[in-house]
């Protein structure tokens, strides 16, 4: 039953842009789920450390890099699968703009804080690409 339901929902995705956005949602949810399970991995990914004096820091990694990413991307994927429309395109676009502005913030840091590193260059490309993938159904539907 679940497999049939999943196959039926997947058939609701018609365009290449929707498939790309769905793949980006799965990727974002996967990053979030892994961050939720392993906050040390999430901390290392963003090159931050928890404060040993305040053990609640790992809760922040689990919450922000885990729960928020997993929940937001899973919800956008569910909306996209259930009802590919302006609503689902908008849900994906909101996430996409978030990723795009993350890339923009990193670029600002690279210029103003002089943090032009290979890691940051890769991250800008990754974040901008992820954002573009998520925004694509909205852009193609409206322009």
Count of alpha carbons within 13 angstroms of residue 117, beta-carbon side: 8
From CA 110, how far away is CA 30, in angstroms rounded?
27
Q: Which residue segment(s) compose the domain that 65 sits in?
A: 2-142
Q: Number of folded domains in the chain?
A: 1
Query: pLDDT for 39-54, tens place per residue?
Result: 989 889 988 887 778 7
Taking 80 as the threshold, does the pLDDT of residue 6 lie above it? no
Q: How far is CA 30 from the centre of its chain?
A: 9
From CA 118, how far away is CA 99, in angstroms rounded?
19
Classify 38 in phi/psi space as left (phi over 0), alpha (psi -120 to 50) or beta. Answer: beta
SS3 4: helix
Position 57 scores a pLDDT of 75
Predicted TM-score of the model (pTM) = 0.80
CA distances from 102 to 14, 118, 130 (A): 29, 17, 11
From CA 76, how far away is CA 94, in angstroms rounded?
9
Query: pLDDT band at residue 139, thresholds of 50, 70 and 90?
Result: confident
Taking 50 as the threshold, does the pLDDT of residue 1 lie above it? no
Taking 70 as the threshold, does the pLDDT of residue 3 lie above it? no
Query: pLDDT for 8-44, tens place per residue?
Result: 555 577 888 889 999 999 999 999 999 999 998 988 9
How many other CB atoms are found less than 10 A from the CB of residue 65? 22
Query: pLDDT for 61-118, tens place per residue?
Result: 888 889 999 999 999 998 888 876 777 888 899 999 999 999 999 999 999 999 999 9
From CA 100, how far away is CA 121, in angstroms rounded?
14
């Amino acid at each position: 039953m679940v497999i049939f339901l999943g196959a039926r929902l997947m058939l609701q995705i018609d365009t290449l842009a929707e498939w790309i956005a769905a793949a980006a949602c799965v990727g974002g949810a996967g990053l979030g789920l892994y961050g939720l399970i392993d906050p040390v991995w999430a901390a290392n990914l963003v090159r931050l450390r928890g404060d040993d004096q305040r053990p609640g820091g790992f809760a922040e990694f689990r919450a922000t890099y885990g729960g928020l990413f997993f929940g937001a991307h899973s919800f956008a994927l569910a909306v996209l699968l259930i009802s590919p429309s302006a609503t689902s395109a908008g849900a994906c676009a909101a996430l996409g703009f978030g990723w795009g502005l993350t890339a923009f913030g990193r670029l600002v840091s690279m210029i103003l804080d002089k943090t032009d590193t290979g890691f940051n260059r890769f991250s800008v490309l990754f974040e901008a690409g992820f954002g573009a993938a998520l925004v694509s159904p909205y852009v193609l539907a409206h322009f």
